[in-house]
DNA sequence: CATGCCATGTAAACAGTTACATGATTTA
DNA sequence: TAAATCATGTAACTGTTTACATGGCATG
């Protein structure tokens, strides 16, 4: 149930509406825990029902501002410190690698070359937003930089691996 | 719909029953595309209905052996060469990093230390099964080694990153 | 003849995606 | 006043997990 904790985490930085949160999801959490509008609004309803968040004000256009409760904050902390992160990661990129014997060596190399190019593009993209995020002083930016560095290293590894793997196909 | 293609991919190496496939999922694909028994049997039914696989023989204990059809093989090849892999990856491990400001610096460092230890354990585990997989000459083993190398590099990166990130928490 | 493994299937619950639906407020 | 943006919500579908259910066959 990480969506729930993602929402609690964002609200731990201050009150916000579903609409506000959605933008933060798209900007900060897009590559870590994406969420759709549909999911978000229903999760906020459930969190309010469970007493982990409160509606603290209602604005124009039916806007509802949510704030995390003490109980919600306690649950967030418990989740961060006591719940072991999931290990399972699905990768259809890697799944295809298992079946490369079913296509020609040219196609297999091409597949890996495209992965390397994609990783290079990701790398560039991360470098480009780095300076932007570098300036933020809020918690999300400070710790987001650690996550960004993870993405950077991951993209680098992926690029090098894809180049290496391409060279192994004869 | 990657489960479908994972099944087609395994069957491209030769006929097998649901039970056989399940073991292969647990051994070879556990860290790439895990599947449950429940999912597998229903997917086989759907694949047979779509003409991508056939039941080629029925054995004792209701055992049904499935084989990939020409149509299924064509679909597998199309998926490998023409369908772009999904980029979205969810990581509740990284999600927690964004919210480390909500716990004490000691707890935050501890969290990252545990990630480094976990990655070190993964690394060891991969090294240990490496020699085992090294011996296989079937397609799945040959290409599985490329995937294994990816896992190795990923675990290394993760370990180094977690150690680095832990050093940044004051 | 009991235990373990082989073998398949269904049902309910939960999580996530896509599409639909509606309407208020601001700004050019 | 038209277009963009703010803002929330529901419905249908797809994919995944967990639990339940059943029974055959081989081996000690």
Whether the Cβ atoms of residue B19 and residue B25 lie closer than 8 Å to each other: no
**Domain shared by B77 and B96, yes or no:** no
Please say if the pLDDT value at position B136 is more than 90. no
Residue B132 pLDDT > 90, yes or no? no
Query: What's the mean pLDDT when you consider all of chain A?
Result: 96
In a domain, A112, yes or no: yes
- A17 and A38 both lie in a single domain: yes
pLDDT digits (tens, 9 = 90+) for B89-109: 899 999 999 999 999 999 999
Cβ of residue B94 closer than 8 Å to a chain A Cβ: yes
Mark whether B128 and B57 lie in a shared domain. Answer: no
Report if residue A18 sits inside a domain.
Answer: yes
Q: Is the pLDDT of residue A58 over 90?
A: yes
**Is residue B7 located within the same domain as residue B64?**
yes
Are residues A75 and A54 located together in one domain of the fold?
Answer: yes
Residues B11 and B74 in one domain: yes
> Which of the listed residues A24, A52, A82 is the one where a domain comes to its end?
A82
Residue A87 resides in a domain: no
Higher pLDDT, A120 or B89: A120
C-alpha R_g of chain B? 20
Q: How confident is the model at residue B61 (pLDDT cuts 50, 70, 90)?
A: very high
Nearest to A76 among B102, B149, B154 (CB): B102
- My answer on whether B60 and B100 are in the same domain is no
Q: Closest approach of chain B CAs to the CA of A1, in angstroms?
A: 9
Q: What percent of chain A has pLDDT over 70?
A: 100
Last residue of a domain, one of A41, A59, A82: A82
Is B6 in the same domain as B75?
A: yes
For residue A149, the enclosing domain spans: 92-166
CATH number reported for the structural domain that contains residue A78 in this entry = 1.10.10.10
Q: State the SS3 of chain B.
A: CHHHHHHHHHHCCCCEEHHHHHHHHHHCCCCCCCCCHHHHHHHHHHHHHCCCEEEEEECHHHCEEEEECHHHHHHHHHHHHHCCCCCCCCCHHHHHHHCHHHCCHHHHHHHHHHHHHHHHHHHHHHHHHHHHHHCCCCHHHHHHHHHHHHHHHHHHHHHHHHHHHHCCCC
List Cα–Cα distances, B18 to A160, B12, B27, B28, in angstroms.
36, 14, 14, 15
Segment B131-147 mean pLDDT? 89
Residue B81 has what pLDDT?
97
Interchain contact, B81 vs A111, CB within 8 Å: yes
Q: What is the pLDDT of residue B9?
A: 98
Average pLDDT over residues A60-85: 97
pLDDT digits 0-9 by tens, A136-148: 889 899 999 999 9
Answer with the one of A28, A57, A82 that is the final residue of a domain.
Answer: A82
Average pLDDT over residues B25-51: 96
């Amino acid at each position: 149930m990480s969506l729930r904790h993602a929402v609690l985490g964002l609200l731990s930085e201050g009150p916000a509406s579903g609409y506000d949160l959605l933008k933060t999801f798209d900007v900060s959490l897009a590559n870590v825990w994406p969420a759709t509008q549909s999911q978000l609004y229903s999760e906020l309803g459930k969190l309010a029902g469970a007493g982990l968040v409160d509606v603290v004000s209602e604005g124009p256009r039916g806007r509802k501002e949510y704030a995390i409760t003490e109980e919600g904050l306690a649950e967030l902390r418990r989740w961060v410190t006591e719940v072991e992160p999931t290990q399972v990661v699905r990768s259809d990129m890697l799944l295809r690698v298992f079946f490369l014997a079913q296509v020609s060596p040219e196609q297999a190399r091409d597949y890996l070359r495209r992965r390397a190019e994609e990783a290079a593009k990701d790398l560039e993209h991360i470098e480009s937003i780095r300076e932007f995020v570098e300036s933020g002083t809020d918690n999300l930016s400070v710790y987001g930089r650690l996550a960004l560095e993870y993405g950077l290293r991951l993209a680098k590894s992926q690029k090098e691996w894809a180049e290496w793997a391409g060279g192994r196909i004869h």
